[in-house]
Chain A
Amino acid sequence: MMSTTQYASFKSRPLYGTLSPVSATAHLVVAEGEGSEAVKTLVASASAEFLDNATLIYAKGSGPEDATDAMQALGFKRFHTSATATASLPRLNAALDRLRMGTQIYLTGNESALSLFVKACADAGQDYQGLQTEHHGSLARRMQCVHCKGITENVTTQPAECAHCGLLLLVRDHYSRRIGAFQGVNINAEDPADVPAKEEMF
């Protein structure tokens, strides 16, 4: 159903928590950008053995900060680095392929990166309810255009233009974990002449 009303919260929205070490056979940590802060806190509160069977995949992301050196210095048994969350996916998928049950997965970064990481884990057969997540950085959304199906990255305005078909879209409070994106629906279909102003929103 189409409506221009904004609801304060909604049931399909991913909720993020705070990473905290739990008892597990092994640990896989995936971080993007400012998520490096969450990794530092996680390691600081973990037992000494935590790092012995832990993997960290860190993507610097598009922000100005580069925490690569600080992340490497934490002393994870295995450490992979990438430029962006998207670029980290092949290594993440390879790591997921080798995982055994009992590996706790920790994901952190901005909203777009978290969308990609959660989707990769689900595609590997890991139920999303067993994942730990913590949000850091931008709340810019990944948005799927419901009309042309194209995905627009880093959406910060309401409404927003589809990068593929150019329609002006209302970014709905409706999220698909399978697609890893919020839903965008044409905002002025009833009257294309009515072009609402864009506001910075996310």
Chain B
Amino acid sequence: MGSTASLPKFRDETYRDDFSFRNSEQSVLRAPFPFDKDSYMYAVNMELHQRTGQLNSAFNEPFDVDEHYLAEMRDRALVLDEDPLRYQSLPHMEMAGWDTLELLMTHKSQSYPESFSLTRNGHDWHWINRPMGIDQHFRFGDATTLPYSPLEYITRQAQGDYVVLDERQGNLWMDAGMVTTQADWSLDFDIGMNFYEWHAPVPLAHEKGIFDRALKYLLAVQQSNPARRLNWTMTVNPRLDTSPENFHKWGPENTHVTPENVADKLFLRIELQSFWRLPRSNALLFPIRCYFLSMRDISTVPKWGARMHRVLKTLPPELASYKGLDNFRQTAVDWLSQHDDGQPTTPGAQPD
């Protein structure tokens, strides 16, 4: 990693109200499509977080910035204006906030030097975020020199949710986070919980021992070996903020999918989760980055269209219910069937 990528032109679009979010053709092809075979079940699908062979992919840089950057940051600011509880940090997590700020600033300025720059002179740091028009001098370790706490400051400038996990007693504790693009879980409710507790509502996986193995893997993540995995669900309309807090507002949209609108109204919501050991706090940073692909976007890649059809069709019912797909699963399967030729698909998730 650590190339000098140029950023694309940022789209002027929304994740609410008129939902003007769209993917460019490039943006579809670089998405981290989560299915590497024609069916889906939980697995501890962890791997090292490093660049893959593909030229333009979401795995190119440690913290991917794409054409949706500015729109996503605008949406985050709107969410926080309405509900400041979406960012929280328990008192012992301030050092982890500085660690996160350093990690993000360092990688962004290395990955995209035309857009971001970080200059350090001892504890006096100078940060420039050109896309957002930010030019900030501050003192590392002194929160009064920033407009927000270090974790809130930097995550208002970085796509994806950020959860910070404290490690104690052989477990991980969700003790801080910035969570505005979540697939229906509440930071305000889950903050302070350990790894097993915050996963309590997930069906099947506890019994399969998935969480025991995943936790053991995560505890071994050190500074030298950041890891990643993919997760997914589906969302009606490209709404980043599908929070339980606002479920009574967006829930009705789950019933608005019809055979006529499913192609453009229903989205595969991909989560690129990564895991980073933070140096001074020994905490683990857990970024959860969301990518949207509409059913029509998916159908433009023949392998993905066929595979999406097969995965949705064979998904175990309790998983479909847990992921909240019951209202529209059949409609999606019906529409996708025209993009499935029934032939075997090639191994791996990448387009042919």
In whole Å, how far is B290's beta carbon from the nearest beta carbon of chain A? 15
User: Chain B contacts of A7 at CB under 8 A?
Assistant: 201, 203
Given A1-B183, A146-B189, A177-B192, A10-B201 contact (CB < 8 Å): yes
Decide yes or no whether B9 CB sits under 8 A from chain A: no
Closest to B193 in A: A12
Q: Are A186 and B251 in contact (CB under 8 A)?
A: yes
Decide yes or no whether B185 CB sits under 8 A from chain A: yes
Total interface residues in chain B, CB < 8 Å = 39
Q: A190 CA to B233 CA in the complex, in Å? A: 18
Partner of B322 from A1, A172, A175, A191 at Cβ < 8 Å = A1
Task: Please provide the chain A residues from 1 to 54 with a CB less than 8 Å away from any CB of chain B in the complex.
Answer: 1-3, 5, 7, 10-13
Give the bracket for the number of chain A residues in contact with chain B: 20 to 34
Q: A12 CA to B198 CA in the complex, in Å? A: 7
Closest to B251 in A: A189
In whole Å, how far is A195's beta carbon from the nearest beta carbon of chain B? 14
Given A2-B184, A11-B206, A190-B254 contact (CB < 8 Å): yes
Task: Please provide the chain A residues from 181 to 196 with a CB less than 8 Å away from any CB of chain B in the complex.
Answer: 183, 185-186, 189-192
Given A11-B200, A190-B327, A191-B255, A1-B184 contact (CB < 8 Å): yes
User: Chain B contacts of A11 at CB under 8 A?
Assistant: 196-197, 199-200, 206
Given A146-B245, A149-B85, A176-B189, A189-B200 contact (CB < 8 Å): no
Given A11-B206, A190-B255, A174-B192 contact (CB < 8 Å): no
Q: Are B251 and A190 in contact (CB under 8 A)?
A: yes
User: Chain B contacts of A146 at CB under 8 A?
Assistant: 186, 188-189, 244-245, 247
Q: A3 CA to B85 CA in the complex, in Å? A: 24
In whole Å, how far is B317's beta carbon from the nearest beta carbon of chain A? 10
Q: A172 CA to B203 CA in the complex, in Å? A: 13
Tell me the B residues contacting A by CB distance below 8 Å: 85, 169, 183-186, 188-193, 196-203, 206, 233, 244-252, 254-255, 318, 321-324, 327
* A to B CB contacts below 8 Å, 26 in the list: A1-B183, A2-B247, A2-B251, A3-B322, A3-B324, A10-B201, A12-B196, A146-B186, A146-B188, A147-B245, A147-B246, A147-B248, A149-B85, A149-B188, A174-B201, A176-B189, A176-B190, A176-B192, A176-B193, A177-B192, A178-B193, A179-B189, A185-B247, A189-B251, A189-B252, A190-B254
Tell me the A residues contacting B by CB distance below 8 Å: 1-3, 5, 7, 10-13, 129, 144, 146-147, 149, 167, 172-179, 183, 185-186, 189-192
